């Protein structure tokens, strides 16, 4: 069985056609980058329930060597890598006598991502995931992509690398997994629109004035999804949906104008694809990332997960409303960056990462996050940073420069 053929409708971007078309062998050897995070632990939960279906190759984490060692022991990994070199001794001591190799540092992370595996789950948060995920792509097998920053910041370079290396890219982000499924066998010219749903986050009904005073704890309390801190804040500002528009643009054969956002507070319908005959195909599931993760592992098959089954009669009502770009201007900023292309999405992403980190450290308020991103984009334009961005090293250069600009905006 082969993956869906979704040929590109944009001759300028031939690379986005083939990334999702290759047929898959069953995944057996698996690596998880960002194993200690929300997606990483959900992935390992599935692995643990699979009755020995998977053999774990490499697990990685940023700083939490103790948790990483526990996971590596529980899943009998071949190697565990902590990005922070200062944590090497903790990791090595915890793994002593287990036969599991311990390593640390950025190069070790890239090397682990390159180890032969049937599937690498790319679940590092932020632009820190770029280098290791590119390394995973270069090993030419399957990449289950959770790290949306690869597509947002480096979309063109990333999709070209996927094409060049013959890797098979399967989206893990729930909306994109849903789109992937509802686009099966679709001819590009028959697609009218792809609509990504958004929960609306914890502040969906808040006025602009109320948004001025929300706290870190309130922003982290997502109503429907359990996720890492960064993406939870992005969901509250709706920057997450903006990033996902850019992600979808690189993955699927549509123009920016064909990508829509619809607020759906119950998070049951994840994406809708509208076709030229008036049909709309939707994918539904209870909000649990183990469903899209399992699809990326089992494709072209499916595997059981403990995701709560959907009883629509119990839920009774599914509601939908238009997104409000006035109260949630992050959506507009992301659309502008997508239209601008080149370095603009990388600048948007870098500024947002810096601003979200500052908010999480209580250095700026909630509404300052998106204000910082807007100011950073303006300032990057004046500084001549909005250049083309075709290679990973160009993206990393722009990312670093935009971080400096955003940090300066926050301290002034």
Q: Which residues are near Mg ion by CB under 5 A?
A: 173-175
> Cα(55)–Cα(48) distance, rounded to whole angstroms?
10
Query: Six-digit token pair at 183?
Result: 């686009």
| DSSP label at residue 385 | -
Q: Would you call 46 exposed, middle or buried from its count of C-beta atoms within 10 A (0-12, 13-18, 19+)?
A: buried
Out of 228, 242, 253, 345, point to the residue binding ligand NAD (CB under 6 A). Answer: 228
- Only segment of 44-52, 160-168, 223-231, 276-284 that touches ligand NAD (CB under 6 A): 223-231
Residue nearest to ligand NAD (CB): 37
Task: Name the residue nearer to Mg ion (CB basis): 118 or 173.
Answer: 173
User: 267 to each of 19, 153, 280, how far by Cα in Å?
Assistant: 27, 26, 17
289 versus 409: smaller Cβ distance to Mg ion: 289
User: Are the C-beta atoms of 123 and 147 separated by less than 8 Å?
Assistant: yes
**In this chain, which stretch among 44-52, 97-105, 143-151, 370-378 interacts with ligand NAD, using CB under 6 A?**
143-151
Residue 239 in the binding site for ligand NAD (CB under 6 A): no
d(CA 231, CA 297): 22
CB environment 176-212: b (16+ within 10 A), e (fewer): bbbbbbbbeebebeebbebbbbbbbbbbbebeeeebe
Per-residue interface string for the shown chain with ligand NAD, residues 169-188, x marking contact by CB under 6 A: ----x---------------
Q: Is 125 in the site for ligand NAD (CB under 6 A)?
A: yes
Element (H, E) at 143: strand 142-145
Residue 198 backbone phi and psi in degrees, to 5:
-135, 140
Q: Nearer to ligand NAD by C-beta: 33 or 263?
A: 33
Minimum distance from residue 313 beta carbon to ligand NAD (Å): 27
For position 37 contacting ligand NAD by CB under 6 A, the verdict is yes
- 123 binds, options ligand NAD, Mg ion, none, Cβ within 5 to 8 A by partner type: ligand NAD
Confirm or reject binding of residue 88 to ligand NAD (CB under 6 A).
no
Residue 377 binds which entry of Mg ion, ligand NAD, none, CB below 5-8 Å type-dependent? none
Exactly one of 31, 87, 133, 147 binds ligand NAD (CB under 6 A); that residue is: 147
Contact partner at residue 231 from ligand NAD, Mg ion, none, CB < 5 to 8 Å by partner kind: ligand NAD
In angstroms, the CA 43 to CA 210 distance is 37
- Rama region for 25: left / alpha / beta (φ>0; ψ in -120 to 50; rest): beta
Radius of gyration of the chain (CA): 20
For Mg ion, give the closer residue by CB, 104 or 150: 150
Note the residues at the interface with ligand NAD (CB under 6 A): 34-40, 61-62, 83, 123-125, 128, 146-149, 173, 225, 227-231, 289
């Amino acid at each position: 069985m082969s993956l869906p053929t979704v040929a590109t409708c944009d001759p300028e971007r031939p690379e986005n056609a083939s990334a999702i078309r290759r047929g898959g062998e069953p995944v057996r050897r698996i690596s998880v980058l960002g194993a200690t995070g929300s997606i990483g632990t959900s992935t390992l939960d599935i692995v643990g329930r699979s009755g020995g279906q998977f053999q774990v190759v490499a697990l990685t984490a940023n700083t939490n060597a103790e948790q990483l060692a526990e996971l590596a022991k529980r899943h009998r990994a071949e190697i565990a890598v902590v990005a922070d070199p200062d944590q090497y001794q903790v990791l090595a001591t915890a793994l002593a006598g287990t036969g599991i190799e311990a390593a640390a540092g950025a190069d070790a992370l890239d090397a682990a991502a390159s180890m032969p595996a049937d599937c690498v789950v790319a679940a590092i948060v932020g632009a820190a995931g770029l280098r290791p995920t590119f390394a995973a792509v270069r090993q030419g097998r399957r990449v289950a992509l959770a790290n949306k920053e690869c597509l947002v910041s480096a979309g063109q370079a990333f999709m070209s690398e996927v094409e060049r290396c013959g890797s098979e890219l399967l989206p893990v982000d729930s909306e994109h997994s849903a789109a992937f499924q509802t686009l099966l066998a679709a001819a590009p010219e028959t697609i009218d629109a792809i609509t990504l749903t958004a929960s609306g986050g914890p502040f969906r009904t808040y006025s602009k004035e109320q948004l001025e005073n929300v706290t870190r704890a309130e922003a982290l309390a997502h109503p429907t999804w359990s996720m890492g801190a960064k993406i939870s804040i992005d969901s509250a500002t709706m920057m997450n949906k903006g990033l996902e528009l850019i992600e979808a643009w690189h993955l699927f054969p549509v123009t920016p104008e064909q990508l829509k956002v619809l607020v759906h507070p119950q998070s049951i319908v994840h994406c809708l694809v509208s076709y030229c005959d008036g049909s709309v195909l939707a994918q539904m599931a209870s909000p649990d990332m183990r469903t899209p993760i399992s699809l990326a592992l089992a494709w072209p098959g499916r595997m059981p997960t403990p995701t709560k089954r959907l009883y629509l009669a119990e839920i009774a009502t599914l509601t939908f409303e238009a997104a409000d770009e006035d109260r949630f201007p992050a959506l507009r900023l992301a659309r502008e960056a997508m239209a601008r292309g080149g370095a603009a999405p990388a600048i948007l992403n870098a500024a947002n990462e810096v601003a979200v980190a500052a908010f999480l450290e209580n250095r700026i308020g909630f509404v300052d996050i998106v204000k910082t991103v807007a100011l950073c984009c303006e300032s990057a334009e004046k500084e001549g940073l909005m250049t083309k961005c075709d290679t990973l090293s160009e993206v990393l250069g722009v990312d670093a420069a935009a971080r400096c600009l955003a940090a300066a905006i926050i301290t002034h």
